Amino acid sequence: MADFVAGGVGGAVGVAVGYPLDTIKVRIQTQRSFHGVWHCIHSTYQLEKLPGFFKGMSMPVSTVCVSSSIIFGTYRNCLHSICKLRYGNSGAKPSKADIFASGYAAGAVQTLVTSPADVAKVRLQTQMHPHHSLQSASLVSVPKYRGPVHCLMTIDRDRTSTR
């Protein structure tokens, strides 16, 4: 349990520290209006202030604990099952191939959680919206996505309505 909590807290802090740079990277990769890192940083701060660097961060922070538990749980259960099938004992020393197969399975299962979270994160990061202190009362614009869950629900609704 202590490893899970430590991993969750460490993962959340790691996300918070690196997230502003990730936002800048994603914006430069997806939007042609920026002429470099400093231009992107300056423009983001001018338009959105400090919150603009952290758009969509709640999704990676909330999924880091879930993702870690899925990875470690899948890896451990898969490795125990492989050892039990191959050697008749789940406590037997696994081969490198057994370890590889367990890690591969854990990574495959992890994508079920991280892929939707990454889609929401990138959509929120690329959504440019003026900070409320910069908007006049008559020109209030509403962002397309209000948060990560709303983003995923909107994507799903848009995807199903085009079928």
pLDDT digits (tens, 9 = 90+) for 62-113: 888 778 778 888 888 999 999 999 999 988 999 999 999 999 999 999 898 8
Contact of 78 with 117, CB cutoff 8 Å: no
Better-predicted residue by pLDDT, 40 or 147: 40
Give the pTM.
0.63
Contact of 110 with 67, CB cutoff 8 Å: yes
Q: Determine the average pLDDT of the residues in 118-140.
A: 74
Q: Determine the average pLDDT of the residues in 142-159.
A: 88
Round to whole Å and give the CA distance between 7 and 10: 5
- The alpha helices in 50-136, defined as continuous H runs, are 58-87, 96-126
The alpha carbon dihedral of 78, 80, 83, 87 has a sign of negative
Backbone angles phi, psi at 127, to 5 degrees: -85, 105
Better-predicted residue by pLDDT, 161 or 54: 54
The alpha carbon dihedral of 140, 142, 147, 149 has a sign of positive
Tell me, what's the pLDDT at 82? Answer: 96
> What are the pLDDT digits (tens) for 152-163?
999 999 888 876
Contact of 15 with 67, CB cutoff 8 Å: no
Contact of 56 with 124, CB cutoff 8 Å: yes
Residue 141 above 90 pLDDT?
A: no
Round to whole Å and give the CA distance between 118 and 128: 17
Angle between helix 148-161 and helix 58-87 axes, rounded to 10 deg: 80
Tell me, what's the pLDDT at 76? Answer: 87
Tell me, what's the pLDDT at 67? Answer: 81
Residue 18 above 90 pLDDT?
A: yes
Rounded to the nearest integer, the mean pLDDT of the chain is: 86
